[in-house]
Amino acid sequence: MKIAVVYNHESKSVINLFGTPNLEKYGKKSIKRIVDALKTGGHQVIAFEGDKDLVDNLENFMPRVVAGERPGLVFNLSYGIQGQARYTHVPGILEMVGVPYVGSGPLAHSICLDKVVTKMIFRQHGLPTPDFAVLDDVDFPAPDMPYPLIIKPKNEAVSYGLAVVNNEDELRSAAGKIFDKFSQPALVERYIEGTEINVGVIGNNPVETFPAVELTFGEGPQIYTAEDKKRISGREIGLVCPARLPEKVVEQAKEIAIKAFKVVGAYDCARIDMRLDSDNNIYLLEINSLPSLGKNGSYVKAAHHVGFDFTALVNRLIAVAAARYFGSPEPPTVTPGKKNPSVMVFDYLTGRRDRIERRVAEWCRISSRTDDPVGHTEAADELGRVMTELDMKPVNDLTDQKSVWTWQTKACLDNGVLLLISLDTPLTATVSAQTFRRDPEWLYGEGIGGSRAPLTMMEFALRSLRAHRLLRRLPLGVMAYADEGRDCRYSVEHIAKAMERAGSVLVLRPGNMGDKAVTGRRGQRNYRLTVEGSTKRLGQLTKKPDALTWLFARMTDVANLSSRKERLAVGVSDVKVESFSMLLPHRARATVVTTFPDIKGADHLEQAIREKLTRKGLSSWRLDLESERPPMNGIRAPRSLFKAISTIADQWRIPFASETSAVPSVAGLSPKTTPTLCGLGPVAKEINTASEAVQRISLIQRTLLLAQYLATKIEEAPSGAGKKKKRN
């Protein structure tokens, strides 16, 4: 389990420092001791301050979980930085953002920090506590209680300001110090002459106690002062465990401790402080809702007496909190049954989220832009290494080693699932490289949405199947192509051939915002328009305009052919000119891009463009088709595949929706009778820019979704595995 140990030591990362500062701190050695104990318990552990960066740090370390995944826990050691009810600050933040944690919640902490409210609750529930009074200011009337008295700040811990007073002068002097130093009322209570003990409490249902610990003070005041706790008083406070008390008294003290723990609404652990008079009558003093886990603390000593060494105690607290949140010491798996492929796949993937993100980073370090054939080879070699580890074999007739590579399982691609994925990143050399980085919600990197995250998603989905000896039984092919930025003009024949052989096709293009896959896409044609004109000097008057002026005028006419009603769009990009020195351009080239819902619409649009160009043409212009991506406009086949995956998404409570898109993809090459779904990759934004990013939660969700879908196809495999499709 991921455990974040949250503490306060430096306490500098705040917007402003003002108000009552916290005087309690955990030492770095103590923090390291706790971290090491948790690591020994098999947990993945990190430690950081409970300050204004807490939420960002938690999101980076333990991002949002998918349904059924084991979430991380915070091991809360934070005393707060400043202000009132400081113990409540970190638990309040954790409650707000939905992170489980060890220890009491904000309400119990605030009650226990307010010693007056605590004593009122004790009285209300019939629990014994010394008589008390509250002093609000320096002009307080003397309380009607016999001396000696105990005085302490109303809302502090660690015995700060604690003193025994024997007369009114001492009382007023001690109270004045509290008013000056702590700016809060003072609590005065009857001093109980006798034995001081504390009882450590652990658990919730049931609440259990450790043996009572007796404190021995030696010379000096018979109270536990702040100087004693900081070990600067010059004396050693003895801890006797178990306390030297009659068994009946000890059992009564434990019963009182458990009841006190419950009435203030505490969770998981606490230390209950008590005093006993000469007749062994028990009086509750207060509750420490964050018991010290320091090496010499009484809570640790009592736990050790019943067999919990420090490592066992710390890990027991994790188990106690997990039981409170999840119903058992270890969060449950989704369903029982070790032979259930879905559960095995789930456990494999959710247990490797950090590794999945690291793998995305590794992929982002391999640059393979569209115009970089060396980069394509490097990326293909890396993917080939992965395929070899997965025992997948190359498919030679669907591979050209330049723009397309294909592998298949032992059960073969035929009538199986084809996964299509891009290896190249359609960025020009003018776009600066983007290194991998992450924030709480997004992962950034070059090509991360269009290529790198989908590659990682595919790899780990297949690894999860292979880990449980399932992959070999699955008829599956993986095809990677490296000319996405060139509209797949070189890989198109191989892609179409592979789609013909497959039983279903999943195109791992990025998902759209709103957790949407794509069940329909427009087609796209790219044309090269070349305009030839005569050479012309600036200012020379002729009947015919220069090539560039004519091109700009005609492009306005062409752009007006776009029709929202008919879902037709025309645009112009990448204009280049040629000219001689001191002369206007005599040649102009431009790329004309059209999108359309069907081939009939595409042909109609091309004819209309040619008519616009012909109407006022120059002596020479030429319109050539450079590339074409057919529309993905089948209705039944894509919808049936989307429905199958959507059913799995509902079972695992993964958000999953669909839409159509104006952006084309290789999905349009699929036969209309072959179920095809596009956009199954992680949800991404700013595709093909220097700000490209994928949602962190979507990466694990879509990986899980792909793996679960493939797991269901294994059950169907025997009937059609390895059999080639019949062709008409």
C-alpha 285/C-alpha 299 separation (Å) is 16
Peptide bond just before 146 cis, omega within 30 deg: no
Residue type, 611: E
| CA triple 456-461-467, angle to 5 deg | 120
C-alpha 476/C-alpha 503 separation (Å) is 9
Contacts of 617 (CB under 8 A, 6+ apart): none
C-alpha 220/C-alpha 235 separation (Å) is 9
Burial 88-99 (b: 16+ CB within 10 A, else e): bbbbbbbeeeeb
pLDDT at 727: 43
Residue 678 burial (C-beta neighbours within 10 Å; 0-12, 13-18, 19+): buried
Q: Which helix (H) or strand (E) holds 572?
A: strand 569-578
C-alpha 390/C-alpha 706 separation (Å) is 16
C-alpha 524/C-alpha 625 separation (Å) is 11
Q: Are 652 and 68 in contact (CB under 8 A)?
A: yes
Q: Report, in this order, helix, strand and coil percent for the chain, each rounded to 5.
A: 35, 25, 40
Closest CA to 447 of 703, 700, 689: 689
Q: Which helix (H) or strand (E) holds 559?
A: helix 547-559
Helix, coil or strand: residue 116: helix
Q: What is the mean pLDDT of each run of 10 residues along the chain (728 residues)?
A: 88 73 79 93 89 88 77 90 86 92 95 93 95 90 90 78 87 89 89 93 93 87 71 77 94 96 96 94 94 89 92 92 71 42 83 91 95 95 97 96 96 95 90 87 94 97 93 95 93 95 95 92 93 80 77 87 92 89 88 93 93 73 92 69 93 91 91 91 93 94 95 70 50
Whole-angstrom Cα Rg for the chain = 36
Domains and CATH numbers, the chain: 2-101 (3.40.50), 111-130+192-326 (3.30.470.20), 346-521+633-720 (3.40.630.10), 523-629 (3.30.70.360)
| CA triple 467-470-474, angle to 5 deg | 135
Cα distances (angstroms) measured from residue 252 to each of 247, 257, 430: 9, 9, 78
Cα distances (angstroms) measured from residue 310 to each of 3, 4, 300, 351: 17, 18, 7, 27
Residue 10 burial (C-beta neighbours within 10 Å; 0-12, 13-18, 19+): exposed
Phi, psi of 242, deg, nearest 5: -75, 160
Closest CA to 190 of 119, 258, 291: 119
pLDDT at 717: 60
C-alpha 381/C-alpha 375 separation (Å) is 10
What is the DSSP secondary-structure string of 41-54? TT-EEEEEESSTTH
pLDDT at 342: 81
Contacts of 116 (CB under 8 A, 6+ apart): 132, 134, 154, 185, 187
pLDDT at 543: 67
The answer to whether the pTM exceeds 0.85 is: no
Residue type, 476: L
C-alpha 51/C-alpha 32 separation (Å) is 19
Q: Are 701 and 555 in contact (CB under 8 A)?
A: no
Helix, coil or strand: residue 615: helix
**Reduced 3-state DSSP string for 304-360:** HHCCCCHHHHHHHHHHHHHHHHHCCCCCCCCCCCCCCHHHHHHHHHHCCHHHHHHHH
Q: Which helix (H) or strand (E) holds 456?
A: helix 453-466
pLDDT at 728: 37
